[in-house]
Structure 1
Amino acid sequence: MDETGVKSSTSRPPKVLSIKGKRQVGVVSSAERGQLTTVICCCNAAGTYVPPFFIFARKRMQERLLDGAPPGSQATVSDNGWVNGEAFLNWLQFFADTVRPNENRKILLLLDNHESHKCYPALEFASKNNIIFLSFAPHTTDRMQPLDVAVYGPLKKYFEQEINTFQKSHPGRIVNQYDMAKLFGGAYVKSASVQIAVNGFKKPGIWPYDPNVFGDEDYAPSTMTDRPLNEAQSSLDDTPCNSASSVVPHSPTDLVSTQNLMTDLSTKENPEQCTTPIPDPILEQGPLQAPKTNRKNKRQKSEILTSTPVKAEQAAKYIKVNKKKTNISELASSSKIKKNKIKKTELPGHSQTKRTKTSSKAKTKADLFCLVCAEKYTEPLVEDWIQCSQCQHWAHENCTSYAGVGSYFCDECED
């Protein structure tokens, strides 16, 4: 499996057939920068493909984003359209539902060392569902990854053709996310053939297994000089007085004897035999130290990602990251509580007035008497009580002459 990114705008304009000698040749293209959509593809050495999985750059997923997609395709969303640990776990669940591995039929999944592929929930899910992760060595995926070797080249070519055809058929219209699945589906049908997938595994020697597919020139170190190696070696062999020039002192105490030896050699009777000037003595240096770098991540290598050591390391990272997130959320919540406390202390009078109101209200309820019969207020209520709109005193409704319409005023207030 591997991911690739496709944009909603063409990155390579197509070739245009024009009259010879014409200086200006136009082509319909979009002026937009385009939005990235990540697609995860997967195939095996027998030429079988898993339906593509889309990752759209948005907040919410909508089903109509998959209109026109290849049959069986699914999708998820991320903030920037790139693959992350959560998106990879969603694809892995989709992959397990499609392939259905079991204990007697385990799946070996070849992938690169991207950090999302080492997400601990994904590794745990793969171990429980009989899926083994094997990563490629760093900087070798362009020669070893079957999808990069054979599939994605034709796929990108056909996708550019689909974009150009769409822009010619719909002039002035911008390609949006709702058109991406349909355009990708047309290119995917043309490129996802059995022979291409088989060649993708055959060319790097994965299946059929061929350890001699890469020659010695592929493992040669980087070129350090423009001078050919054979010419430099022959010039060293033709240099006279190799014995004298190879004398190097091993300690500062040997420097005097070495200088005397070079003086004796230079004052021989036949100076014509040694015409090369004798170099100055060089003190032997200790082992060179590794250059200092700001690299924090350790060097990666090809390994089984679902093995116990890798899972234990990723589990520790996962716990550490989640602990930081919880600490940050706790700090944020505590800061909110402090702000609320500050706001409440800034307005003490408001809260005190509320408390006094409620307490006075509770106190008046305990000391209520009817204006007519002077009976004390008790709970639970046996009769309905009514309040005078002017003096705010209470009385039994049956004790008053209130007709039930409008505001009530006691006899004293009416007078």
Structure 2
Amino acid sequence: MNAAGGFVPPMIIFPRKNSSEQLKKGAPPGTLFAFHPSGWIQTELFTKWFDHFFERTNPTKDRPVLLILDGHHTHTRNIDVVIKSREHFVTILCLPPHTSHKMQPLDKTVMGALKTFYNEEVRLFMRAHNRAVTHFDTGELFGRAYTKIQTAERSLKGFSTTGIYPFRRDVFSDEDFIAEQQRHHVPHPVTADFPENNEPALCHSPNILPKDIAPIPQLKKKIGWRGRKPGRARVVTSTPNKEELEESINRSLEKVTKRLVNEAGPSSLKQSAKKKRKARSPSTSSSSLTSSSEPVPANSSDEDDLPLSSYISPKQCADDTTECIFCQEMFTMSKSREVWVKCVICDIYICDFCK
């Protein structure tokens, strides 16, 4: 959805790559299809969607486009999208963390209605066909629900409700800021002069405030163990943010290279490549499958009938260049060096945090 009140055709992500046209049956016109084992958005998939968005909006110097996104890493740490946006008159604005339920137009007026209509289409489908919904039915059911909520009135209301357009400073009440004030409140020191004797006295100094006598309780800030910096609102396409992102990516690459050299000597790259090939060899996959806590049943012919524990097996020593399929964090950057798991069917890795 763009600021003009129109909808950009969506992108549907399937967990398995399948060239069958049955997957696309009934999807909204112009829908972009992508595939990833996790079924979640990834950096390269978001880049593909951005190209799709650019073709539909066609921004120019006289008609620039403002793209409002949340702080997901595929939006804020995607250097390809940042460069393309700066070259083609697109400004990307990142919302403050934990505010999308209040400030994101899609979340306010579109997503809830889309979920309701989609669930209703699923219910009607199951009643009419007396079977469960498969991924071959998803496109058609989604298309029906999407067509019902695709109205200019709904999209424009999303921008007005969040105070983005028309711009409104008073769209949020005082209650909306209480939690944030408690999180960042710093008690002020008491500066009033008290009598030196022990006689009770009334203090009329204007410097004494109720919060100085009974400070506001402070919320404990949760410290993440994954070493990630907290999100913040920023213009993703701005020059300072672009330079900071490039510097951060270069530092990460340098750390990986330096660790490989320090841990295994000059031949670390070759050894890592050998380990990676060995991990992906059929013999390793078979041994991993055998050591799994729940082995794959021998008489099973359908992969979809197998439990998730049958697909993944413990792997204590993932390569330093291994990435988690869900959060895309590299194994070398995980401070706790936790146990990762590997899917013996898809040959993918899942970190301890995401599993």
TM-score bin, normalised by smaller chain: 0.5 to 0.7
Q: 2:81 corresponds to which letter in structure 1?
A: A
Larger radius of gyration: 1
Aligned with residue 332 of structure 1, among 266, 272, 276:
272
* 1:74 and 2:14 are equivalent in the alignment: no
Provide TM-score, normalisation by structure 1: 0.52
Q: 2:238 corresponds to which letter in structure 1?
A: S
Q: Counterpart of 1:293? A: 223
The alpha carbon displacement at 1:160 in A equals: 0.4
Counterpart secondary structure, 1:55: strand
* 1:314 and 2:258 are equivalent in the alignment: no
C-alpha separation in 2, matches of 1:170 and 1:44: 37
Aligned with residue 108 of structure 2, among 130, 135, 149:
149
Distance 1:78 1:131, change over 3 A: same
C-alpha separation in 1, matches of 2:38 and 2:30: 24
Tell me if structure 1 keeps the 8 A contact 2:2–2:67: no
Q: Where has structure 1 moved over 6 Å in runs of 4 or more? A: none
Provide TM-score, normalisation by structure 2: 0.60
Aligned with residue 99 of structure 1, among 43, 47, 57:
57
Counterpart secondary structure, 2:126: helix
Tell me if structure 1 keeps the 8 A contact 2:93–2:234: yes
Distance 1:59 1:312, change over 3 A: farther
Counterpart secondary structure, 1:220: helix
C-alpha separation in 1, matches of 2:53 and 2:149: 21
Distance 1:54 1:311, change over 3 A: same
CA deviations on 1:25-69 (whole Å, 9 max, x unpaired) are xxxxxxxxxxxxxxxxxx134421111111111245554321110
Q: 1:82 corresponds to which letter in structure 2?
A: W
Q: 2:153 corresponds to which letter in structure 1?
A: Q
CA deviations on 1:156-209 (whole Å, 9 max, x unpaired) are 1000000001101111x2311111111000000111111111110111111111
Tell me if structure 1 keeps the 8 A contact 2:97–2:231: yes
* Residue-pair matches, total: 241
Gaps of 5+ in 2: 183-191, 201-217, 261-267, 279-355
Aligned with residue 236 of structure 2, among 305, 314, 338:
305
C-alpha separation in 1, matches of 2:253 and 2:16: 24
* 1:181 and 2:139 are equivalent in the alignment: yes
Distance 1:223 1:178, change over 3 A: same
C-alpha separation in 2, matches of 1:194 and 1:188: 13
Distance 1:315 1:330, change over 3 A: farther
Q: Counterpart of 1:238? A: none
Q: 1:49 corresponds to which letter in structure 2?
A: F
Counterpart secondary structure, 2:61: coil
* Aligned alpha-carbon RMSD (Å): 3.2
Counterpart secondary structure, 1:104: coil
Tell me if structure 1 keeps the 8 A contact 2:95–2:234: yes
Q: Counterpart of 1:28? A: none
Q: Counterpart of 1:170? A: 129
CA deviations on 1:196-253 (whole Å, 9 max, x unpaired) are 11110111111111111222232234798xxxxxxxxxxxxxxxxxx99x56xxxxxx
Gaps of 5+ in 1: 1-42, 225-242, 248-257, 267-287, 339-415
The alpha carbon displacement at 1:319 in A equals: 3.6
Tell me if structure 1 keeps the 8 A contact 2:3–2:66: no
* 1:116 and 2:74 are equivalent in the alignment: yes
Counterpart secondary structure, 2:97: coil
Taking the TM superposition and a 5 Å limit, the aligned residue runs for 1:6-405 are 43-59=1-17, 62-118=20-76, 119-171=78-130, 173-221=131-179, 261-262=197-198, 265=199, 293-294=223-224, 296-321=227-252, 324=256, 330-333=270-273
C-alpha separation in 1, matches of 2:99 and 2:140: 32
Tell me if structure 1 keeps the 8 A contact 2:13–2:33: yes
Q: Counterpart of 2:287? A: none
